[in-house]
């Protein structure tokens, strides 16, 4: 972690925000108009999902619970929740759907600890959500305008705004799901911290397993569980309850975040980044990066130019 001079000498007054870093990602944002007999099969994924009905009626089944949506209604689906949807009312239906993830552990835990939430049309929180959702919808409908660095930043800015409004809305809704007890949450948080340390410092005592060995990431999780004094199965279950994804998935997210940050520096070679993340084989790192992000490290770096 780099440090700047403090500048405290001869300073009369100072106010500082704490250092902050969070990665957000937007996936499969789409607007669609469907026929009366349209349906989407049951599925689940590690992302959070927002579904906003623009016109018509939709019936969603989330975790076995039927949710009737009319025009303007918004539904939030948690990570890992099984869900399906179908048009209702014998008429066409239009909707806007987006999937997102965020690397800020506390906010992710807040989302995961919330029951499926419906924000009805005209409600205070729905009206607040319409603004950032409307920006993303507009960019989705005008894809050429969303292309390029500025469009990319505008989309992520709208997503950050959406997360901020959503966080406030969830506080007001107060729909807490069954969550790990307060005595167990510190274990999940400590495990997240140790996974972050293992990703950034592969030579640390936490991570003696090498990621490019078969099952290396699994052994990292096993070692961390052992240091915490619990079985791997217990830690996997507790971590998933708290964050909505497995420890290995979280470790992959952290590594991807670090790799993308280091790829911003053209003076750092891809091979150096692979070594910093603990990979002895640059080819294996490149395959892993492409599996995580859909592009190779070199192509990702070119896209930033």
Each residue's pLDDT tens digit, 215-233? 567 788 889 988 888 888 8
Question: What is the C-alpha to C-alpha distance for residues 80 and 213, in angstroms, rounded to an integer?
Answer: 28
Domain-located, residue 9 = no
The answer on 284 and 252 residing in a single domain is yes
Question: What is the C-alpha to C-alpha distance for residues 240 and 221, in angstroms, rounded to an integer?
Answer: 13
pLDDT at 205: 42
CA pseudo-torsion sign 144, 150, 156, 159: negative
- Residues 230-236: contacts with CB within 8 Å, 24+ apart? 230/187, 235/187, 235/191
Domain-located, residue 282 = yes
Encode pLDDT of 169-216 as tens digits. Answer: 888 766 554 455 555 678 888 888 889 888 888 766 444 444 444 456
Backbone angles phi, psi at 116, to 5 degrees: -50, 130
The answer on 200 and 129 residing in a single domain is no
pLDDT at 14: 77
The answer on 158 and 32 residing in a single domain is yes
The answer on 168 and 38 residing in a single domain is yes
249, 292 in Cβ contact below 8 A?
A: no
Domain-located, residue 263 = yes
Domain-located, residue 13 = no
Total count of domains within the chain: 2
Which are the contacts of 300, defined by CB distance < 8 A and separation ≥ 6?
260, 263, 289, 293
Encode pLDDT of 110-148 as tens digits. Answer: 888 777 688 999 889 999 999 999 999 999 988 655 556
> Which segments of 142-281 does DSSP mark as H helices, in order?
143-146, 148-173, 185-200, 216-228, 232-243, 247-263, 270-276
20, 57 in Cβ contact below 8 A?
A: no
The answer on 147 and 62 residing in a single domain is yes
CATH number for position 160: 2.60.120.280
Question: Could you tell me which of 71, 65, 73 has the C-alpha nearest to residue 120?
Answer: 73
Per-residue exposure over 175-190, b if at least 16 CB sit within 10 Å of its own CB, e if not: eeeeebeeeebebbbe
Question: Could you tell me which of 57, 116, 52 has the C-alpha nearest to residue 81?
Answer: 116
DSSP readout, 196-233? HHHHH-TTSSS--S-TTSTTHHHHHHHHHHHHHTS-HH
For helices 247-263 and 282-293, give the axis angle rounded to 10 degrees: 100
The answer on 159 and 294 residing in a single domain is no
Task: Pick the last residue of a domain from 152, 173, 194.
Answer: 173
CATH number for position 196: 1.10.10.60
pLDDT at 70: 94
Task: Pick the last residue of a domain from 173, 204, 232.
Answer: 173
The answer on 63 and 189 residing in a single domain is no
Q: Is the pLDDT of residue 242 over 70?
A: yes
The answer on 157 and 47 residing in a single domain is yes
26, 156 in Cβ contact below 8 A?
A: yes
Domain-located, residue 19 = no
The answer on 202 and 89 residing in a single domain is no
Average pLDDT over residues 85-107: 90
Q: Give the range of the structural domain holding residue 49, as residue numbers without chain letter.
A: 24-173
Between the alpha carbon of residue 197 and those of residues 204, 206, 231, 245, the distances in Å are 8, 8, 20, 18
The answer on 130 and 91 residing in a single domain is yes
The answer on 290 and 232 residing in a single domain is yes
The answer on 229 and 156 residing in a single domain is no
Question: What is the C-alpha to C-alpha distance for residues 172 and 250, in angstroms, rounded to an integer?
Answer: 28
Average pLDDT over residues 42-53: 92
Which are the contacts of 3, defined by CB distance < 8 A and separation ≥ 6?
none
pLDDT at 92: 96
Whole-number mean pLDDT of the chain? 83
């Amino acid at each position: 972690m780099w440090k700047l001079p403090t500048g405290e000498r001869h300073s009369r007054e100072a106010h500082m925000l704490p250092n902050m870093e969070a990665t957000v990602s937007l996936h499969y944002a789409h607007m669609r108009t469907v026929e009366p007999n349209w349906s989407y099969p049951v599925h689940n994924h590690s992302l959070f999902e927002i579904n906003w009905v623009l016109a018509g009626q939709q019936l969603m089944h989330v975790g076995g619970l039927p949710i009737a949506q009319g025009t303007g209604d918004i539904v939030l689906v948690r990570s890992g929740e099984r869900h399906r949807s179908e048009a209702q009312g014998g008429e066409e239906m239009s909707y806007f759907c987006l999937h997102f993830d965020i690397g800020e552990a506390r906010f992710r835990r807040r989302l995961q600890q919330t029951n499926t939430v419906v924000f009805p049309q005209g409600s205070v929180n729905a009206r607040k959500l319409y603004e950032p959702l409307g920006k993303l919808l507009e960019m989705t409908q005008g894809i050429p305008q969303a292309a390029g660095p500025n469009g990319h930043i505008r989309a992520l800015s709208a997503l950050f705004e959406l997360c901020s409004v959503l966080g406030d809305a969830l506080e007001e809704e107060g729909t807490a799901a069954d969550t790990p007890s307060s005595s167990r949450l510190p274990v999940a948080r400590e495990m997240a911290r140790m996974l972050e340390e293992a990703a950034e410092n592969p030579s640390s005592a936490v991570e003696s397993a090498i990621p490019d060995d078969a099952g290396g990431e699994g052994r990292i999780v096993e070692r961390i569980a052992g240091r915490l004094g619990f079985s791997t199965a217990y830690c996997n279950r507790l971590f998933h309850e708290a964050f909505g994804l497995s420890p290995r998935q979280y470790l992959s997210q952290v590594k991807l975040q670090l790799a993308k940050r280091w790829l911003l520096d053209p003076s750092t070679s891809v091979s150096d980044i692979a070594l910093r993340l603990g990979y002895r084989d640059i080819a294996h790192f490149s395959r892993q990066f492409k599996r995580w992000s859909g592009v190779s490290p070199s192509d990702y770096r070119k896209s930033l130019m």
